[in-house]
Amino acid sequence: MATSVQQATPNLVGALRTLTETGAWRGTASELSALLAATGLDNASAAPRLSALLRNREPELYWQGISVSFRRKPGSGARLIEIVRR
């Protein structure tokens, strides 16, 4: 399984760069998963797995020029992901 995660990272980096070309992206893990699947990313994971992948790869993504942060939406408490190019 570690191999598939390592192989997914370069594709994920490219997809996140494309996603943030016009500015920051904000949304839930489910929304991000659906968006990545729609762009043809082979390894688009289910939302909880994608969220964990982003958390684990956050330092690597940072050095690739992508900042990932996790927040809760005020009021509803929904978990949001914010992705920004540095």
Q: What is the pLDDT of residues 5-50, one digit of tens each?
A: 445 567 888 889 999 999 999 999 999 988 888 877 755 568 888 8
pLDDT given at position 4? 42
pLDDT given at position 6? 45
Whole-model pTM over 0.85: no
Overall domain count for the chain? 1
Residue 77: is its pLDDT beyond 60? Answer: yes
The enclosing domain of 70 has a CATH number of 1.10.10
For 63, the domain range is 2-85
Q: Which residue has the tokens 């992901």?
A: 81
pLDDT given at position 8? 54
Cα separation, 15 vs 9, in Å, equals 10
